[in-house]
Amino acid sequence: MAKVKQKKVEEITISPPKFRVVEFVLEGTSPLMQARFSGKAMQAMMAKMAAGSTSKKGGQRAARDFDADFREAQHFSTDGWVGVPASAIRNACIDVCRMTGFKMTHAKMSIFVEADGNDRVDGMPLIRLHAADPERTEMPARNATGVIDIRVRPLWRQWTLKPRIRFDEDQFRLEDVANLLARAGMQIGIGEGRAFSKESNGLGFGFFRVTGGE
């Protein structure tokens, strides 16, 4: 009679997630500029698309409201304060992993930024910006079509953020996260004109340093 070969049962134990939340203080070392895509512009684009073939180039063009452009370029929360997308800090930490030997895929699954609120237009998670009222700046910019345009944007010369970073302690130590933030502030930046912009070499905006933690 043939013997029945017994399969070996291997037990796998998965340890529970070990996350920690630490608040850092980031102080801007260069101006911060924002260029939010306004809700008004999105509505205008949707109306034009919905009109389809009935939309004509020869239609009357409304006068541009530069003050409205300035206001709508800012990220206002549902509570009325101005914020910075939480993803800006998270993405900067992920990007700078290229310089440190950490895998970006591990950082994507291990480092998160807790939101202080949400954008009143699209619900984007925001962290509160601690700063005085911004300056209005006007800068020339070239559209994708090659046409020169004027962009009106808010600019803060002195600013502070207090992001709460949630991270996986099985992947990163507190010291690792602090160093990622420090490098992100010196080599990546946040906002418009940052050093690691995908569309340019930056304007020297959006740099910061870590001045406190926990």
Enumerate the domain spans of the chain.
19-37+65-213
pLDDT, residue 55, reads: 57
Q: What is the pLDDT of residue 2?
A: 64
pLDDT at 50: 55
pLDDT of amino acid 154:
96
- Rounded to 10 deg, the angle between the 174-183 and 86-95 helix axes is 100
Torsion angle of alpha carbons 74, 79, 84, 90, nearest 10°? -150
Structure tokens at 194: 């940052």
- pLDDT digit of tens for each residue in the chain (214 aa)? 666 666 777 888 888 889 999 999 999 999 999 998 654 455 445 555 555 666 556 566 677 888 899 999 999 999 999 999 999 999 999 999 998 889 999 999 999 999 999 999 999 999 999 999 999 999 888 777 888 888 899 999 999 999 999 999 999 999 999 999 999 999 999 999 999 887 788 899 999 999 987 7
User: In sequence order, what are the residues at sequence separation of 6 or more whose Cβ sits closer than 8 angstroms to the Cβ of residue 44?
Assistant: none
Residue with tokens 């990622």: 180
Question: What is the predicted pLDDT for the residue at 39?
Answer: 47
Report CA-CA distances (Å) from 8 to 5, 11, 128, 212: 9, 10, 55, 52
Give this prediction's pTM.
0.82
pLDDT on residue 134: 97
Per the DSSP assignment, residues forming a β-bridge with 139 are 151
Element (H, E) at 22: strand 19-28
Q: By C-alpha distance, which of 32, 39, 46, 34 is closest to 68?
A: 39
Give the containing element (helix H, strand E) for 211.
strand 208-213
Q: Is 187 helix (H, G, I), strand (E, B) or coil?
A: helix
pLDDT at site 182: 97
Q: Is 85 exposed, middle or buried (0-12, 13-18, 19+ CB in 10 A)?
A: buried
Instruction: Give residues with Cβ within 8 angstroms of 20, minimum separation 6.
Output: 166, 167, 169, 174
